[in-house]
Each structure stands twice: as C-alpha cells, then as structure tokens.
Homo-oligomer: A and B are copies of this chain.
Amino acid sequence: MKLSAHSQQPIGVFDSGVGGLTVLKTLMEHWPHENFVYFGDTARLPYGTKSPETIYKYSMQIIGYLRQHPVKAIVIACNTASSHCIEPFIENIPLFNVIEPGSRAAIKSSLNKRIGLLGTRATLLSQSYQKKIKTLDPSAKVFGQACPLFVPLAEEGLIDDPMTDLAAYRYIQPLLQEKVDTIILGCTHYPILKKAIQKVAGPSITLIESGEALSLWIKETMDQGALAQNTSSSENRKVEILSTDGGEHFQNLALQILDVTDFSSKNILYRMVDLSG
C-alpha cells in the first residue's frame, strides 16, 4: 500500500455530536505526536434515530469534507455511522470504524461468550456488531439493547442523575438476565454515562469502550506501513475541533469530556463550519 498522505497531516475523527470526543480523548493520549481534526455534526444530530440512507449521506458528506482538509486517515467515532460505512480504505487513505475494534475487544474479554450490546436503534438494526462478532467467533452470542435516551441524557450532561440511573436500569437489566459477562458500549456517547452503567451492571461485568482497541488498530496499520506516523515534537501538536452548530453548550461539554479547563491550554482550536455551502 502506497502512502498517499503526509505524516504531519492530521487524523480526522468524526461523530454526530460530542460523543466521539470520548474517542478523541483516548487517541490524543495514545498518540501525543499526532495532529487531529474533530468534526461534530451537531446541526443534524442525533444520527441513531435516522434511516440508513440519511446516515450514509451525512457520513459521506463529512468524509468528503475531511478528505479536502486534508487528513491522512479518518476515524468514524460514531457507532451509528460506522455501522453504515465499514470499508477499510477510502480513496487510498485508511478509514477506521469503531465496530471492528469493539468487537475484537469484547471477544477477548468474554469468558462465557455471552456479550451484551448497548447501542442506538440504527446500530442494532444494522446488525453490524452481530455480524462482525459472528465472523470472529461463531460460538459467541450477542444480546442487543437499544438505548434511545442515553444520547440526550449524555448531551444534557446528566452524568450523575436519577434519570440516568433509571434509564440505565431499564436498558441493562434485560442483558443481566441473559447472563452476559461483557457489555459493549456501542455508542461513543455511552462512556460519558459509564459510572451509572457500571453501577447497574455490577463490578463483575466488563464494559468495552472502543477507544483503546481502536488505538491498537491504528498502531497495526502504522506498523504495516499503510499510515505514516508523525514524529514531530508533541509540543507542537495541534487539535482542531469543528462543529456544524456552534453554541456555548457544545464547547462546555467538549471541555468537560476532554477534561481540560480551556482549549488553548492544550493547543486546541474550535470553529464552526457550514456543510451546506
């Protein structure tokens, strides 16, 4: 595979809103020399309740935008979008999704091969995790549960709240009855609510986030020579955050998720973009 992009070009990361920032945070920690550009489609979120055609159209518009940025690789940090775009390369640059690494990590973690999957309605309907896990281990059983209220609860920042506890109880109880030992947080918003989810699931259940496993996949791709690693100083690393709808609410949540007091302290730039023109 010929490298089609320069090592100093950023890695593009996109999501429908703030959820993918949980993935960006993990990637920033694992790859301190890499530049990143994050794209949150907040003007059209959420994706998880929309049709496959609409999700695919929006994803392709964002991938097109990031290609022109230009980026050297694209991470689809949104399970819903990942479920509808699982090609490994697009126009010669690597395209990472969160289904593949999440599935691998779940298989590795589960002892009884009974795996719970929390996701949006669209992710569950796409059967993307179920198909991927069956390919990796035909004996594994996946029990899916749609969690349509988790995204608005996370977007509202209701991290430690009785409403979130009630929703978590409702969504996780059926999985516990199926005796799962591992639960995939199949939406990048869900790690924001991890504490409430773990409280209901109990300490013996392993929760799978895709960020860690995704970092490993990126490393493998670099080792195979299909993605150039940036070797510039980490002090000069730049992170750009873009969103299609602005507002203080988004920026405040972004600060909270990335765990920084202000963007400038980490060389992070924020700006709003308009995809429609």
Binding site for B on A (CB under 8 A): 42-44, 49-51, 53-54, 57, 121, 148-149, 151-153, 155-156, 162-163, 166-167, 170, 244-247, 249, 276
Oligomeric state, in copies: 2
Residues of B within 8 A of A57 (CB): 276
A54 contacts B43, C-beta separation under 8 Å: yes
Bound-state CA distance A153–B276 (Å) is 30
> Shortest CB–CB separation between residue A250 and chain B, in angstroms?
9
A245 contacts B50, C-beta separation under 8 Å: yes
Residues of B within 8 A of A167 (CB): 163
> Shortest CB–CB separation between residue A192 and chain B, in angstroms?
15
Nearest-CB residue, chain B, relative to A57: B276
> Shortest CB–CB separation between residue A225 and chain B, in angstroms?
38
What 8 A-B pairs are tightest by C-beta distance, nearest first?
A152-B152, A54-B245, A51-B247, A50-B245, A43-B54, A44-B44, A51-B245, A148-B156
B49 contacts A43, C-beta separation under 8 Å: no
28 chain-A/chain-B pairs, Cβ below 8 angstroms = A42-B50, A43-B44, A43-B54, A49-B155, A49-B249, A50-B247, A51-B245, A51-B246, A51-B247, A53-B246, A54-B244, A54-B245, A57-B276, A121-B249, A148-B152, A148-B156, A149-B152, A149-B153, A149-B163, A151-B152, A152-B152, A162-B166, A163-B163, A163-B166, A163-B167, A163-B170, A166-B166, A276-B276
Residues of B within 8 A of A244 (CB): 54
Bound-state CA distance A54–B245 (Å) is 7
B149 contacts A156, C-beta separation under 8 Å: yes
Residues of B within 8 A of A163 (CB): 149, 163, 166-167, 170
Bound-state CA distance A49–B16 (Å) is 14
Nearest-CB residue, chain B, relative to A153: B149
Bound-state CA distance A109–B163 (Å) is 33
Residues of B within 8 A of A245 (CB): 50-51, 54
Residues of B within 8 A of A246 (CB): 51, 53
B54 contacts A50, C-beta separation under 8 Å: no
Residues of B within 8 A of A43 (CB): 44, 50, 54
> Shortest CB–CB separation between residue A183 and chain B, in angstroms?
21
> Shortest CB–CB separation between residue A159 and chain B, in angstroms?
14
> Shortest CB–CB separation between residue A146 and chain B, in angstroms?
10
Given A51-B247, A152-B152, list of 14 further CB < 8 A pairs?
Answer: A50-B247, A51-B245, A51-B246, A53-B246, A54-B244, A54-B245, A121-B249, A148-B156, A149-B153, A149-B156, A163-B163, A163-B166, A163-B167, A166-B166
